[in-house]
Amino acid sequence: MENFIYMLAPLLSIELFLVLFFGTLAGLILGVLPGLGPTTGGALILPFTIPMDPLSAIILLTTIYCAGTYGGAITAILINTPGTPAAAATCLDGYPLAQKGEAGRALGLATIASVFGGIFSVVILVLFAPMLAKIAYQFGQPEYFALAIFGLTMLSSIGEGTPIKNLIAAAFGILISTVGSDFMTSVDRFTFGVNILTEGIGFIPVVVGLFAISEMLVQSTLLNQTFNRVTLDALKLPTLDDVKSTWKTILRSSGIGAFIGILPAEGGTVASLIGYSEAKRWSKNPQEFGKGSIEGITGAEAANNAATGGAMVPTLALGIPGSATTAVILTGLIVHGVRPGPSLFREQPDFLYGIFGAMLFANIIFFILGFFGAKIFARVTLIPNKLLWPMVFVLSVCGTYSLNQSLMDVWIMLAFGIIGFFMRRFGFSLVPVIIGLILGELVEGTLRQSLVIFDGNWFMFLTRPIVVTFLIFSIAALLVPYLRGEKNN
Amino acid sequence: MQRNNERAIKKKSPSFLNDASIVSFVIIIFSLFLFYLTFNFDEVPPILNRGIQPATFPKGLLIIIMSLTSILYFFSLKNPWKKQETLPKTFSYTLIILILFAIIAKTLDFFLGLSFLSFTISYLWGERRKLLLFFVTVIFPLLVFIFFETILNLRFPGGILTDLYYR
């Protein structure tokens, strides 16, 4: 009962409600704008949350995550360009249905599926996060090390990039985390004699550089791109027949999305692709997929929104990000001095349930905003890149500078923007870099502390059942993409 | 005729100058350089040594990166990477503008650098409407400056424009 009241906190405080409302609105706008989305948008907004209290800051970031994931569908359906990577599968049937003059129906179905998936995932989050946190109480340093390794190996199977490229990117992320004064012995590593670097490379300059600046460089190569825009009269609620023919798909995809979201490092993109392909596999009319199937739209949208709550489960319970955007949220938690993990559930239930409540209400608010304002949000896609990206750059630079009032952070951001662009050009995903950077300290710290416990004997890891289980999972995570590739071949 | 064409293609792109080999080469050279640097890290006495020496972990990571890159390269011999399209000129100009921004922000003025970048990018990418150019070049950076300065109490680095305000 107490926890239920904590969940209502965002509605009971005017300040929190305003954060919730504007976070949802900002998330929708960021989701609609191709190239931005909740990850880049969250990274851009992160520095602005520094003066806020931790709960308001994290509510802002999580509502941007929820609403941004849905917002991507509007662009996918109207201009055949996913506003977010997670909406890529929505294009496949959303745009063809819109071309048939049923844009309102397509958006209505996407909205209902998104809201259902989102609310379903919050229920999963409320149920499973405390359970996972209880299990994590039994974890010592070796178990956390094995868990972090499992999280990193899961990166090999994320949607973008090949498994090896993803692993290289993750190792690169961990390597960045070693820059600076060694946190255990104070020995300088990779500082090149630069004093500021002894404090290490901050998360935010890397995140903003990799996502926002590299995207600006990508946009500079796409200036000749043209969009075929479908006009939207009004969003239409699904008819009873639509509901009858899609409710099973929505339910199934919500389950798939929540499950995929819980897996470390996976996220909405993988969830929507699996949700879509499962919808096709179970459909009585698979031949309609790709031609405007309503099951295709709902299958993808329910899954990617259900992954939001799922991805928050390992993020909050274990400190292992469940997706790219939750990596940004995790950065937000760390910046605000909140250490995710089992102790958070014991010591700050008001904080946690406040976030759960905010995610739940964000789904309701984006339903209302989406229903009444879809036409206005559709117009956001008209903002030309030649005006949008210079403004994004100004915000990126000022936001990054504001953290430590250091120009070094700005140079780091620019450098990672250029590195990020070339990584993307050659098929390396950026998500593993961020997750590697975030997990780097955990991996190294727990490894070294474990070796102290084991008196330097590496084989002692194999005497711990949980460690062995995670290592088996890790090997499986590395093998699955290859077995899948062999099967596809 | 066909054989001549094949020869011409082979002449144009030697096998060691494809994307996979260049990327692998850059990663391995960069990793080797960092690996060399790890030998210069201080060593701690056994009493302070927490499990492993400070250089051991980065060394291990760099070995993993180099090994994975080698595997990546050998896989690329079997399944060549998709050839990337040549980057348009607008990309090169955008990159140059970023570098110019850094120079102006460091030597002249932070906000002058931001205004310069906003104007040149917007213009380069095709914006010609004067009012909108004025908005992205002057109004928007000014609004951001006021927001950071007054609400977040942030002090920006001095320069020919910013000093006018701070004086």
Pairing of strands A188-189, A180-181: antiparallel
Question: Are B16 and B61 found together in one domain?
Answer: yes
pLDDT of residue A357: 92
- What range does the domain containing A442 cover? 2-225+244-488
B10, pLDDT greater than 50: no
pLDDT digits over A122-166, tens only? 999 888 888 888 888 888 899 999 999 988 888 776 655 688 999
Compute the distance between CA of residue A288 and CA of residue A280 in angstroms, rounded to an integer: 9
A379 min Cα distance to partner chain B (Å): 18
Q: Give me the interface pTM, i.e. the ipTM.
A: 0.89
Q: Is B83 contained in some domain?
A: no
Question: Are B49 and B104 found together in one domain?
Answer: no
A87, pLDDT greater than 50: yes
pLDDT digits over A369-392, tens only? 988 887 787 777 778 889 999 999
What is the number of alpha carbons within 13 Å of residue A55 lying toward its C-beta? 21
pTM comes to 0.87
Put simply, the chain A residues between 143 and 202 with a CB less than 8 A from any chain B CB are 162, 164-165, 167-168, 171-172, 174-175, 178, 182, 184-185, 187-190
A404 min Cα distance to partner chain B (Å): 10
pLDDT digits over A213-243, tens only? 998 999 999 887 766 666 766 678 888 898 8
Dihedral angle computed from the Cα positions of residues B96, B98, B102 and B105, in that order, rounded to the nearest 10 degrees: 120
B9 pLDDT band, cuts 50/70/90, is very low
Q: Could you say which of B78, B104, B135 is where a domain stops?
A: B78
Q: Is A140 contained in some domain?
A: yes
Residue of B nearest to A216 (CA): B94
Q: Could you say which of B48, B78, B108 is where a domain stops?
A: B78
CA-to-CA separations, A417 to A20, A208, A413, B92, in angstroms, rounded: 30, 8, 6, 14
Q: Is B93 contained in some domain?
A: yes
Question: Are B36 and B60 found together in one domain?
Answer: yes
Put simply, the chain A residues between 281 and 340 with a CB less than 8 A from any chain B CB are none
**What's A13's DSSP letter?**
-
Q: Is B107 on the interface with A (CB under 8 A)?
A: no
Residue of B nearest to A163 (CA): B72
Out of A185, A389, A402, name the one closest to residue B48 (CB).
A185
B11, pLDDT greater than 70: no
Q: Is A239 contained in some domain?
A: no
pLDDT digits over B30-47, tens only? 999 999 999 999 888 877
A133 closest CA partner among A374, A318, A309, A269 = A318
Question: Are B72 and B93 found together in one domain?
Answer: no
- What range does the domain containing B72 cover? 2-78
Structural domain count, chain A: 1
- Mean local confidence (pLDDT), A40-50: 86
A488 pLDDT band, cuts 50/70/90, is low
CB A215 within 8 A of CB A35: yes
Q: Is B84 contained in some domain?
A: no
pLDDT digits over A360-371, tens only? 999 999 899 988
A1, pLDDT greater than 70: no
Can you count the helices (H) and strands (E) in chain A? 21, 2
pLDDT of residue B136: 95
Question: Are B71 and B134 found together in one domain?
Answer: no
Out of B19, B122, B148, name the one closest to residue A387 (CB).
B122
Chain B residues in contact with A447 (beta carbon < 8 A) = 51-52, 57
3-state secondary structure (DSSP) of residue A180: strand
A305 pLDDT band, cuts 50/70/90, is very high
A292, pLDDT greater than 60: yes
B2, pLDDT greater than 70: no
Interface test with A, best of B19, B38, B68, B87 (most A CBs within 10 A): B68
B4 pLDDT band, cuts 50/70/90, is low
pLDDT digits over A405-435, tens only? 889 999 999 999 999 999 999 999 888 898 8
Who's near A215: CB < 8 A, 6+ residues apart? A35, A36, A40
Q: Is A237 contained in some domain?
A: no
- Mean local confidence (pLDDT), A281-308: 91
Structural domain count, chain B: 2
Q: Is A234 contained in some domain?
A: no
Question: Are B61 and B106 found together in one domain?
Answer: no
B1 pLDDT band, cuts 50/70/90, is very low
Compute the distance between CA of residue B70 and CA of residue B112 in angstroms, rounded to an integer: 45
A54, pLDDT greater than 90: yes
User: What's the whole-number average pLDDT of chain A?
Assistant: 87
Question: Are B101 and B142 found together in one domain?
Answer: yes
A1 min Cα distance to partner chain B (Å): 38
